[in-house]
Each structure stands twice: as structure tokens, then as C-alpha cells.
Chains A and B, each alone.
Chain A
Amino acid sequence: MTALLEVKDLSIRFGGVVAADGISLAVQEGENLAIIGPNGAGKTTFLNICTGYLSPAGGTVHFEGRDITRLAPRKITKLGIARAFQIPQLFLEQTVTENMLLAITARRGAWSAVRPLGDAAAREEAMMILGQLKVADHADRRADELPEGTRKLVDIAIALALGPRLLLMDEPTSGVASSEKFAVMDVLVAALAARGVASVFVEHDMDMVTRYANRVAVWNGGRIQKDGTPQDVLSDPEVRRTVIGH
């Protein structure tokens, strides 16, 4: 079976830091892959490369069998990969609803210079996704007024609205109130499963990893230290020592 996302021999360095050194990794359909590892190890860089923001020095990235290594973010998004960011990237001067409608319009390709942004169906869809992530109350607020946790959720909502087949998230619940984290992730992972969307998420919170990932990869010093089920990886003494710290 062709992997959904296949990364081969990826390497990139910044100045003296090796962010990736011959990394190979595959993500299958239906997987929720968590990437864990020390700070600055290159996890976000990996997401940047997969989505075309950076070009690797060597190696390839394939999505559904297609080489996307040198494609721009715009093209990769249209092929079916959506991204949520470590620092939420929103259209700050516009409302949450407008942010969502732009994503939905982009997905449909319904660009017009005349008809207003978002018809009834689009608005309904936007509200549904916002509701699932429990941020529907903020729909009419400007994005730059939102608290950090809400911004993160809206960022994810925008990614979902693009209807991707693979969702890449960078610390999805950081900034979200701890009382809300499980509730949100429950809904998110269920929504992804229902739509058949695979996910890769960078995570520091091991509770999130144990509960929501069905696979874990440890990224350390530009190499994959270990790759397996959460139980295997998190009980590995090397991993516990270098990454988790106990």
C-alpha cells in the first residue's frame, strides 16, 4: 500500500545545526502520528519542509505517490495537505467567520469579485466546524482580539475547512486551557477519523500523545531515534532519558 506521506533521506541544516540528517518516515492513511523530541530538534522544520515553506538540501517528500519536495505551499495545500501552526497564523484584521469563509472559498475555488464572501451553505459549514472545536461563540470577533488558546483552535478550524486528507499540526493544544484540552482533542480526532483524515502532530504533552496518537516518532538531533506505537516508544528507557526526562 502506498503511504499517504513518504519522506526519504531528508536532510537540511541551518548554519551549524543539523535539523534533519537523512530522515526517512512514512505516514499511512488513518494514522495519527505524534512527533516528539527536544526543543529545536527540527520538528517544526520538518513540517515546514513537508508543506513547501523550506526546501531540503537532500531527500524527497511524496504525497499520495506524487513528488512534492519542491512545490510551493500553495500547490501542496491544493493537493490535500493542510497545516496548523505553532504560533497561530490568522488573518488578524478579519473576523473568525471571515477567516473560515476564505478557507472554504479557497477549497471550492469559488473566487468572485462580485458576489459577497460566503453563501448560506458556506456559513453553515464554517459554524459547524467552529462549533466542533468549541469556538463558535467567537465567530464574529476580529482575529486579533482572540486569546491565545482560541487562536490556536481557530487556526486548526481553518485547516479543517480546507478539507484535507492529511492535517499537520504544531502543538495543537498549547495555549488551550487544560480543562479544555481533552474535550477539544476528543472532538478533533473523532472528526478526523470520520472524514478519513490522517494527522501528524508535533507534541510536547505526553498525555496527549498517549491518548491520541496511534504512532509516535522521536526526533532527536536530526534523526529518528525511535518509531513505533506509543507504548513501545514511551516505555523505551533511552527515550525516557533523552526526551521525557525521567
Chain B
Amino acid sequence: MTSELLLIATLDGIAYAALVFIVSVGLTLIFGVLRVLNVAHGSLYAVGAYVAASFGLGIAAAKISPWLSYPALAVAAAIVGIVLGSAIERLLLQRIYDKEEVLQLLATFAVFMILDDVQRLIWGVQPYFVATPLQLLGNVQIGSITYTAYQIILLPAVAVVVLVGLRLYLRHATSGKVILAVAEDREAARAIGINVSRVYLTTFIIGAILAALGGSLASPTTSILPGMGTDMLVLSFAVAASAGLGRIEGAAITALLIGLGRSIAVYWAPELDILVPYLIMTLVLLVRPQGLFSSFQSRRI
């Protein structure tokens, strides 16, 4: 592979890693606090993408300023995250926290199936491609490569903002610290008067918004197809699991590793593109099942 291709692969990897991080950090946050693996995370990503695309089409049809498509991306994520997030948590998750893990997994898997169908009912199976936000920002020159500013500047910037924002929020804001307390020890938190139920709802909504944000940010970069949810689910799980479920900063590192790994693998052998997320997850769990960054092992006896 020429050094030029390698550079392109690296830039692709960074852009992709930014997206994957945003989605994965939502997944890992939900797991860290609620102890539930949200299988529906993939659909939240997909629906976020579809809604953002629809907004984009609406903006174009209404002939208003295309610059509005940027806030539209954020609004799409917020709406999907809040509406679907609270629906899922209140109507379903809330009732199954005390049930066996298997049933919890099945429940979020069921939500995944429901949303997969809903998205097909609303948007059909044809591809959507609304690239306005991507095109508006133009290109930048990196070495001998021309690359879109959206992918190499905006996406990583948003990822960094999410990372730093989450860290600041969880460590310094009162409600953030409350979330950490519940993640650490639910019963102790309840004992000092924290409304655990509300913390769960808030956390799930934040996670859902992040998944949807990943989707809406991804929508200008690729054509949106049914099935994008599954790929992103497996990939974000791979990122979260390889960092250690619940570890936020670690997820940034593993997202970068996996994003770069995927891009380079795809340039090297394009037929592998759908295979790669699944292979990566398999490899990571083979090598270090508890994640790269977790060190504590609970004693049960």
C-alpha cells in the first residue's frame, strides 16, 4: 500500500473512530450505570441517521438556508434520544431491572427488532443520502490528500467535545456525580436518598442521544441503508468491551484503534469490509475478555 493510501486510510480511520466513539460511549455509559447491554443502541443510531436525513431533505425542499442542516443534526439526535430513549426506559427497561440478565438481553434485543421494522415502515428500503452538511464545509489539504473538512475536523471535534464534556459533567456537575454514585453502588446511593429511578432514566436518555448523534453525524457521509444498525451495534460493542464495559476514556482509545484497524483492513482487502467489525470484536474478546483497561476483579467468596 502506498503511503498516500495509508494516509487516506488513517484519515478515514480517524473520522470513523470519532463516530464509533460517540455511539460506543453511550453504550458503555448505559452499561456502566444500568448494568444492561442496550442491544437497541444500533437502532437508535440508525433512526438518528434517518431522522437527520429527513430533516436535511426537508430543509432542502423548504429552500431555507442549508447552514441550518448543522443544528438540524443536533436536533435530530436530541429528539430521537429523548423520545425513544424515555419510551424504551420507562415502558420497558424500568420493569425488568430485577429480572434475569438473559431476559434483559432479550428485551433490548426485542426493541432492536421492533425499531428495525419501524424504520423500514417509515423510511422504506431505498438508500438515503443527504450530503449537504458534508459538502458545505468544503475540503482541506493534508499532505497530498484532499479530504473533507467535515470528516477530518468536525467529526473528531465533536468526539472530543463529547469526551471532555462527559468527563466534566460526570465529575463536576452534581447530577453527573450522582450518576457516578449510582454506578458505583446502587443500594448505597438509594440509601442516601438518591432517586435511582430518575438517574437511570437520565442516563439512558443521554446514552440514546449519543447513539442518535452518532447516526445523525454519520448520515451525510454515507448512504443510509437498512442493516447499518447491526454493524454499528457490533462495532460499538467491540469498542466498549475492549475498553472494559463502563470505561469512558478507555473507549476513546479503543475506538481509535478499532477505527484505524478497520479502515486499514478495508483498504488492504475491500471484500472484508462487512466482515471486519465482527472479526475485530472476536479478536478483541479472544485476547482480553475483560477489556484493556479494567483491572478490578470482584471477590464473591
Q: Which A residues lie at the B interface, using CB under 8 A?
A: 44, 48, 53, 85-87, 89
Contacts and interface: CB of A to CB of B under 8 A. Distances in A.
A85 B247 CA distance: 32
Nearest to A44: B301
A48 B300 CA distance: 11
Interface in B242-271: none
A107 B267 CA distance: 56
B294 to A, nearest CB: 16
B60 to A, nearest CB: 59
Chain A facing B: main interface SS = loop
Chain B facing A: main interface SS = loop
Contacts of B299: 48
A156 B97 CA distance: 34
Interface residues of B, number: 2
5 contacts: A44-B301, A53-B301, A86-B301, A87-B301, A89-B301
Contacts, number: 8
A85 B299 CA distance: 13
Interface string B268-301: 0000000000000000000000000000000101
Nearest to B297: A54
A63 B299 CA distance: 24
Contacts of B301: 44, 48, 53, 85-87, 89
Contacts of A44: 301
A86 B301 CA distance: 7
Contacts of A53: 301
A85 B301 CA distance: 7
Nearest to A45: B299
Contacts of A48: 299, 301
A200 to B, nearest CB: 16
Nearest to A48: B301
Nearest to A51: B301
A50 to B, nearest CB: 13
A89 B301 CA distance: 9
A168 to B, nearest CB: 12
Contacts of A87: 301
A37 B301 CA distance: 18
A48 B298 CA distance: 13
A53 B298 CA distance: 12
A44 B299 CA distance: 11
B41 to A, nearest CB: 31
Contacts of A89: 301
A74 B274 CA distance: 41
A101 B82 CA distance: 53
B199 to A, nearest CB: 27
Nearest to A73: B301
B249 to A, nearest CB: 21
A122 B128 CA distance: 67
A147 B213 CA distance: 51
B290 to A, nearest CB: 16
A87 to B, nearest CB: 7
Contacts of A86: 301
Nearest to A54: B299
